[in-house]
Amino acid sequence: MDKHLRRLLRKPDWYNLRSTDPISASFGLDRGTPIDRIYIEDFLKKNSDSIKGIVLEIADNYYSKKFGSSIEQFEILHATPDNDQATIIGDLTDILTLPENKIDCFICTQTLNFIYNFKDAIAGAKHLLKEGGVVLVTVAGISQISSYDMSR
Weakest mean pLDDT among 3-12, 50-59, 124-133: 3-12
Residue 25 in any domain: the answer is no
Say yes or no to pLDDT of 133 above 90.
yes
Residue 43 in any domain: the answer is no
Task: Give the C-alpha separation, 148 to 152, whole Å.
Answer: 7
Residue 92 in any domain: the answer is yes
Q: What pTM was computed for the model? A: 0.78
Task: Give the C-alpha separation, 40 to 42, whole Å.
Answer: 5
DSSP string spanning 52-78? Answer: -EEEEEES--HHHHHH--SEEEEEEEE
Confidence of residue 51 (pLDDT cuts 50, 70, 90): very high
Say yes or no to pLDDT of 104 above 90.
yes
Residue 81 in any domain: the answer is yes
Q: Are 135 and 129 in contact (CB under 8 A)?
A: yes
Residue type, 43: F
> Between 55 and 2, whose confidence is greater?
55
What's the whole-number average pLDDT of the chain?
87
How many domains are there within the chain?
A: 1
Structural domain range at position 92: 51-142
Confidence of residue 16 (pLDDT cuts 50, 70, 90): low
Residue type, 124: G
Residue 18 in any domain: the answer is no
Confidence of residue 76 (pLDDT cuts 50, 70, 90): very high
Q: What is the mean pLDDT of residues 15-42?
A: 77
Residue 62 in any domain: the answer is yes
Residue 5 in any domain: the answer is no
Residue 57 pLDDT: 98
Residue 148 in any domain: the answer is no
Confidence of residue 59 (pLDDT cuts 50, 70, 90): very high
Q: What is the mean pLDDT of residues 86-101?
A: 97
What is the domain-level CATH number for residue 125? 3.40.50.150
Say yes or no to pLDDT of 2 above 90.
no
Residue 146 pLDDT: 61
